[in-house]
Amino acid sequence: MVFENSTSVVVKEIIHVVKARYLHLPYVGGAAPRTNVVGRVFTANESPPDQKIPFHHEMAQVPEFPSKLFFFCEVEPGSGGETPIVLSHIVYEKMKEKYPEFVDRLEVHGLLYTRVLGEDDDPSSPIGRGWKSTFLTSDKAVAEERAAKLGMKLEWLSNGVKTVMGPIPAIKYDKSRDRKIWFNSMVAAYTGWEDARNDPVKAVTFGDGQPLPADIIYDCLKILEDECVSIPWKKGDVMLIDNLATLHSRRSFTPPRRVLASLCK
């Protein structure tokens, strides 16, 4: 759902509805670098503008994820910067039809996500959120407690920490719509979790630790691109995304661009 060129009054009303209807979900365990603007409002993923953010369900790699995402365009991009969206059940159906054995294996084993975090945020990386902001603490003991609540294992390194999450389901059942959905960060991790600390091929595996087939991953990416609709941004636009129904992405862009986000339980 998109509200185009909303006035400040409309935006305030939307914020009021968000606060009244949805509980805030703290951004714990996510990979994207963000800045807290005020209260429940953060910047959207601040990865470098020349890099595309791959398709994903928000925080699909952790057990607690938002049900709804609100985005507001404060500064429209010079060019590019669209937000492509695609219906998750369509992706599931097409993958199930084309790769039934692969999808069956995902349903049995789930996925294992591995990521190495630096101590502080790295703005040059699309997954540059450091462990301090990931766990909202500078205390390693507190970080370990919060990681454990997510079911995440930590291995401290000399220059950061290795996180292992899972096995976690790759396919979920959407009870409200009575259908299965492609709820994972598989393509995002395999094609986009890359920086000086991380090899994307090792970032996500089957839940039993076996590697994923690259040809199927990239064909899934093609399906996502073929089925998506790209939503351009203008100043004042507001977008509501159902995080269970829809995967989203971000095209590269020419600055400036500033989109704000709020994550809701």
Query: Which positions of the chain have pLDDT values less than 70?
Result: 1-18, 20, 27-30, 32
pLDDT, tens digit (0-9, with 9 covering 90-100), for 137-167: 999 999 999 999 999 999 999 989 999 999 9
**pLDDT at 142 (0 to 100):** 97
CATH 3.60.130.10 assigned to 2-264: yes
260 vs 265: CA distance, rounded Å: 17
214 vs 112: CA distance, rounded Å: 16
Helix ranges, 151-208 (H): 186-192, 200-203
User: Hey, is 84 helix, strand or coil?
Assistant: strand
Q: Which pTM was predicted? A: 0.89
